[in-house]
Homo-oligomer: A and B are copies of this chain.
Amino acid sequence: MSRWARFRTKDRVGFGVLENDGILEYDGDMFDAPRATGRRLGMDAFTLLSPCLPGKIVALWNNFHALGAKMGKAAPSHPLFLIKPATSVIGPLEPIRRPAGYAGKIAFEGELGIVIGKRAKDVPQGKAGDYIFGYTCVNDVTASDVLSENADFPQWTRSKSFDTFGCLGPVIATDFKSAGANLTTRLDGVERQNYALSDMIFSPHELVSLISHDLSLLPGDVIACGTSLGVGSIKDGVTVEVSIDGIGSLGNTLAPAGR
């Protein structure tokens, strides 16, 4: 398994493979034959950025049996999704910003993210693994009161597309197997979600195959696999930490209003 990351130093942005004591820098295209530069940066020489710059995040709704059962919703026959734009993306430790003028509830949703490695269209399920570069943690942030503000049109897109509402990171883990892994979400250290990724209605390979029959997925695009039990709201100043065994922990703080 490799853990790919993007980083910023005091004078540049780069990417490489994160190890325990630093990062091995690469250049070129992360998704297409990246080249090791031979440079190693110590842990104090960089800060992590979002591990990729997706053109879009395809964000699933109702993709876990346990949450679907709690909501009283039947399992869908095809993945249900919305699109969060590139402009919503932030990386580890970057602040989540409350939309100006919005005083309502802001919810966290800890999710597994699939990072696409090559252009995917009409991919058979048995080949889906070839199109997956790796996996990351996602906090699919939502301005909950916006979602149901208009009685005629549920605002799934708007409520989830504010700048800073797509938290990704800390790394992209290759060769990760979701079947045996758990996802936990903590608010200021207190566990709020702890669910098995094996409870997904559509598995990662099914998602890549089915969604690629609808629309082309491009390198760096992310499929956010949906969340399960335990979602709730984030108070201003609280840190949300989404952790997946084998990937790492993604922490982001909801900035106090006005900061």
Contacts and interface: CB of A to CB of B under 8 A. Distances in A.
Interface of A: 55-56, 61-62, 73-74, 76-78, 80-88, 99-101, 121-122, 149-150, 152-158, 161-163, 213-218
B81 A150 contact: no
Given A85-B215, A88-B215, A161-B214, A150 B80 contact: yes
Contact of A85 (B55, B87, B101, B154): B55
A213 B146 CA distance: 14
A88 B217 CA distance: 11
A43 to B, nearest CB: 31
Contacts of A121: 163
Given A82-B82, A85-B83, A162-B214, A62 B153 contact: yes
Contacts of A86: 55-56
10 contacts: A62-B152, A76-B153, A77-B150, A80-B158, A83-B85, A85-B215, A87-B215, A87-B216, A100-B213, A153-B156
Copies in the complex: 2
Contacts of A216: 87, 163
Q: Is the interface of A mostly helix, strand, loop or mixed?
A: loop
A239 to B, nearest CB: 23
A85 B101 CA distance: 28
B85 A56 contact: yes
A155 to B, nearest CB: 7
Contact of A83 (B62, B161, B213, B218): B161
A71 to B, nearest CB: 8
A163 B119 CA distance: 13
Contacts of A55: 55, 85-87
Contacts of A84: 83
A77 B151 CA distance: 11
Contacts of A83: 56, 82-85, 157, 161
A40 B161 CA distance: 42
B81 A157 contact: yes
- What 10 pairs across the A-B complex have the smallest Cβ distances? A87-B216, A80-B153, A83-B83, A82-B157, A56-B85, A73-B152, A161-B215, A87-B215, A83-B157, A163-B216
A110 to B, nearest CB: 20
A61 B153 contact: yes
